[in-house]
Amino acid sequence: MPTHAHRSIKHCLDMLAPFEASDKQLEQGQLEFYQFMLSIYQGMYRNPEEYMVFPGPYEDYTAKAKDKPKESTEGKRHSNDSRESTLRNTFQQAIQFYALYFYNLGIESTGLVESSGALIIPKITYDNVLTKMNRFHDSKNNAKRYELLSSQGLQVNEINDVVYISHSSYKKAMQGLQYLTKAPDSKYRLMNYLRLDYKNAYSPVPAVDDIKKTLPSRYAEIINKLEASLAGMKVKAKIKPLRGIVSDFEFQNINDFAGSLYKEDYSLFKLFANQLPERLCKCPSNRRVRLGEETRRICGLSNRTETVNPNDSDIENSIYIMKKFRNI
């Protein structure tokens, strides 16, 4: 059975953009870095422990947590299980380690050796990259991670206080790495890098059509239907791949709206009410509202709808409620 770590690795694979080179001249180098990173994620999925990703501690902890009796107020506060969070961050950072190691090398590099394709980085800067990677959880295994990369063909050579990084099989791969990491600095640069999205690396904003390419056709169809239904409305849809459809509700008039929906259609009322979980936090946005015959405290900080794997009926009902709520 897949573990939570397996699911996170698969998410990394699913989020890779379809390979499209930025131009023909750079295509081979970009393809080789794409293939190299793809091989890392695929190998990691087959054998996480070989890549120093250890699913066991988190799986054991969550299994024991399921057996504990639940408190009546559990899930109603803005609080985290610090132990669960640490264990989850540990395996997720281990998964991210390899991609972020190369990202930092690319960011700090000063050029490429034309004859060998090696990435050039000053020794003092390379040492700073290693120091940065030691801030991860489970950094005691970093040496083994570097050994693994070496066994797979990565070559790190130091000559006269300069470090040269190349690959014995993917000889032009560093060219692809440099192209992605030397893109204009923006909030999308790291995301484009993680997606290995050469086509959009130098674009200011990723296009929705490119995101849809990473989704199963069924989910892409749902996004198309949602966008068509919202055309002309003053509503912004935020697409979160593989998580469902999310859109914000206004906090005001919830009492009146819930009351009218309760009288009109009880099933739609329940759909609306279920999107407003009770919160007992001390946030200034916490308010008491009336949902039909029930009084409930809700928090504006978690005041949103989230439908995982929605079907046609979920989409149609959600759009109907949204339009009615906004008097459209």
Name the pLDDT band for 51 (thresholds 50, 70, 90). Answer: very high
pTM of the model: 0.64
At 207 the pLDDT is 64
User: Torsion over CA of 281, 287, 288 and 292, rounded to 10 degrees?
Assistant: -110
Using DSSP, state whether 63 is helix, strand or coil: helix
d(CA 309, CA 103): 33
Report CA 50 to chain centroid distance, whole Å. Answer: 23
Backbone φ/ψ region at 294: left (φ over 0), alpha (ψ -120 to 50), beta: beta
Q: Does the pLDDT at position 81 exceed 50?
A: yes
d(CA 261, CA 247): 19
Q: Does the pLDDT at position 63 exceed 60?
A: yes
d(CA 189, CA 161): 29
Alpha carbon distance, N-terminus to C-terminus of the chain: 46
Using DSSP, state whether 280 is helix, strand or coil: coil
- Over residues 294-309, the mean pLDDT reads 70
- Over residues 65-84, the mean pLDDT reads 63
Q: Which two tokens stand for residue 57?
A: 């501690």
- Over residues 262-284, the mean pLDDT reads 79
Q: Does the pLDDT at position 204 exceed 70?
A: no
Q: Does the pLDDT at position 166 exceed 50?
A: yes
Secondary structure, 3-state, 212-243: HCCCCHHHHHHHHHHHHHHCCCCCCCEEECCC
- Over residues 71-98, the mean pLDDT reads 76
Give the residue among 241, 199, 194 at the shortest CA–CA distance from 40.
Answer: 194
Name the pLDDT band for 274 (thresholds 50, 70, 90). Answer: confident
Quickly tell me which residue has 């390379």 as its tokens. Answer: 126
Q: Does the pLDDT at position 149 exceed 90?
A: yes
Name the pLDDT band for 244 (thresholds 50, 70, 90). Answer: very low
Q: Does the pLDDT at position 252 exceed 80?
A: no
Name the pLDDT band for 15 (thresholds 50, 70, 90). Answer: confident
Give the residue among 186, 241, 188, 190 at the shortest CA–CA distance from 213.
Answer: 241
Name the pLDDT band for 300 (thresholds 50, 70, 90). Answer: low
